[in-house]
Each structure stands twice: as C-alpha cells, then as structure tokens.
C-alpha cells in the first residue's frame, strides 16, 4: 500500500463519450502473448458503470495531448486502437502494446495540472508493469518510474484533482482494470491459407481460417462448438496443435 506522499496516480485519461460499446466477460487470468499465440484484450475500467470504456490510443488525433495520452472510450470491440497484447518484460514485468499503432504504455509520466498523465512509447526499452489481481476479475497495474516513485495506472479525468489511493474496495476503484479477451491469433495456418484466429465472445469459442478443429474440456471431453460454454478452461485442437482457452 502506498503511503500519503505517494498518493498521486500515474496515468490520466480524457473521458470522451460516444455510443455502441458493449462489454464482454472479463478474464480471471491473463495470458501473455509469445511465439505463435497472440491474445488481444480490451482493458477497461473496473469502476461500476465504466466497464465498456477501454484504453484507446488516439495516435491519429490532431491534438498533441491526444497523441501522447491514453484515452478511455466506449469504442467498438473490433476497434484495433482499443486492443492490447501483453508480453513478458524484464524481472516479471508485463509490457502492454497497442494493436493499431504498435505503441506501448510507458512507465514514465508527466505532470499536467494536479495529476500525472500517461506517455506512450514507441521503442523497445519500456520496463513494463507489475499486474496484481484485486478480486472480482479486476487487476492493478503499477510500476516504479524513473524518479523512483511507485505509482498505479489509474482512471482520472483530464484536468481533475489528484485521486487518493483507495483504502478499500480496490477491485471497483480507479486503480482497478478488467481485461476482456477479444481475439487469440494462434499463428497456425495451412499452405495457401491465412492464419487461424480463435475468438471468445459471450462464452462461445469460434475459429476462423481453419475448417477442421475440435473443442475439448480440460478433462478431455469433446464439447459442442455452437453453444455458450460455462466458466472453465478449454482446449482447441487443430492441425496437430492444441491451444488452451479460458472462458471466464
């Protein structure tokens, strides 16, 4: 727990409002992308009523602040600007990379009025974050910045007052984040075809780019491919390769 002198938050988000977003089931465990398997997540606020608002990289926006700050927007679930993959960094840290732009969330911030706001990085030297479960499918992301201060990635409104570190209810506070799996790219393909992609949506697992695949429970029982599945771990088998999938 941070002491009083550290009760400033690392990352700022401009709250911009639009329509059409719909939240899915949040992951209880997070999958790092590596090798042939890439898992794309929407990362949304755990504050009640904000779970459809995802971290979004507005690199194409005309304003300077929009290009360096992460925004929280109710974008479409298929919007690549709101999808992130998690990869392993050094010392157990996790690096978050945007699907549309290739930018990474930096662990260095800059001061804007009363709050610290995000920087996006485009190099390969981002240290990454420690991700800790808070319960209720929410996670905390924190990192020691270059000034030696440990800060959390937190929801805030641009130009608002600095938030206090929550004394309780962290899983539904401004430091809580939920990860919604959108797509798993297995990298598996056959001659003349594209890569096979596994998608999880409302409890249903589907595979594109591969006509022959099977779905099994963790105990090895073959499962139907056209119905919503209960919470659990499942195995997709195709072209002599198996990929584990979590239904949260």
**Lowest mean pLDDT, pick from 38-47, 215-224, 235-244:** 235-244
Q: Confirm if 27 and 183 have CB atoms less than 8 A apart.
A: no
Over range 161-180, report the average pLDDT: 80
Residue 221: pLDDT band with limits 50, 70, 90:
very high
Q: Using CB atoms within 10 Å of the CB of residue 218, give its burial: 0 to 12 exposed, 13 to 18 middle, 19+ buried.
A: exposed
Distance, CA of 12 to CA of 159 (rounded, Å): 9
Above 70 in pLDDT, residue 82? Answer: yes
pLDDT at 203: 76
pLDDT > 90? residue 138: yes
Each residue's pLDDT tens digit, 108-128? 766 665 556 555 665 556 788
Same domain assignment for residues 197 and 223: yes
Report the sign of the C-alpha dihedral through residues 7, 168, 49, 134, in that order. Answer: positive
Mean pLDDT of 94-120: 75
| Range 118-141 average pLDDT | 79
Q: Is the pLDDT of residue 89 over 90?
A: no
Among 181, 199, 219, which residue terminates a domain?
A: 181
Average pLDDT over the chain reads: 74
Does residue 199 sit in the same domain as residue 154?
Answer: no
Same domain, 75 and 197: no
66/212 Cα distance (integer angstroms):
44
Which range marks the domain in which residue 119 is found? Answer: 7-181
Q: What is the pLDDT of residue 8?
A: 30
Alpha carbon distance, N-terminus to C-terminus of the chain: 28
- Domain presence at residue 2: no
Last residue of a domain, one of 138, 156, 181: 181
- Do 80 and 200 fall within a single domain? no
Residues 81 and 170 occupy one common structural domain: yes
Out of 181, 203, 235, a domain closes at: 181
DSSP result, the chain: ---GGG---S--B-B---S-----PPPSS----BTTBEEEEEEEE-STT-TT-EEE--TTSSSHHHHHS-EEE---TT-GGG-EEEEE-GGG-EEEEETTT--EE-S--EEETTEEE--EE-SS----BEEEEEETTEEEEEEE-TTS-EEE----BTT-PPPPPPSS-GGGSTT-EEEEEEEEE-----TTS---EEEEETTEEEEES-S--EEEETTS-B--SSS---SEEEEEEETTEEEEEEE-
- pLDDT tens figures, 22-74: 336 788 878 888 777 788 999 999 988 888 899 998 875 544 444 456 788 89
129 lies in some domain: yes
Minimum mean pLDDT range among 44-48, 108-112, 138-142, 146-150: 108-112
């Amino acid at each position: 727990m941070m002491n009083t002198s550290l009760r400033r938050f690392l990352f700022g988000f401009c709250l911009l409002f639009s329509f059409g977003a719909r939240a899915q089931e949040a992951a209880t465990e997070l999958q790092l992308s590596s090798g042939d398997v890439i898992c794309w997540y929407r990362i949304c606020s755990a504050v009640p009523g904000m779970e459809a608002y995802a971290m979004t990289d507005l690199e194409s926006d005309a304003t300077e602040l929009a290009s360096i700050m992460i925004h929280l927007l109710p974008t479409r679930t298929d919007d690549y600007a709101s999808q992130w993959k998690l990869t392993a960094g050094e010392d157990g840290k996790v690096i978050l990379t945007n699907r549309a732009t290739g930018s990474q969330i930096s662990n260095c911030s800059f001061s804007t009025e009363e709050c610290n706001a995000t920087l996006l990085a485009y190099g390969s030297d981002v240290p990454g974050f420690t991700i800790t479960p808070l319960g209720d499918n929410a996670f905390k992301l924190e990192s020691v910045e270059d000034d030696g201060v440990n800060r959390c990635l937190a929801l805030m409104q641009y130009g608002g007052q600095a938030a206090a570190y929550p004394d309780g209810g962290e899983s539904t506070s401004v430091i809580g984040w939920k990860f919604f799996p959108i797509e798993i790219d297995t990298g598996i393909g056959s001659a003349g075809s594209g890569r096979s992609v596994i998608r999880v949506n409302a409890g249903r697992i589907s595979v594109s780019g591969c006509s022959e695949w099977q779905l099994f429970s963790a105990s090895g029982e073959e499962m139907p491919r056209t119905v919503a599945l209960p919470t659990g771990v499942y195995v997709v088998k195709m072209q002599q390769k198996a990929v584990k999938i979590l239904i949260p």
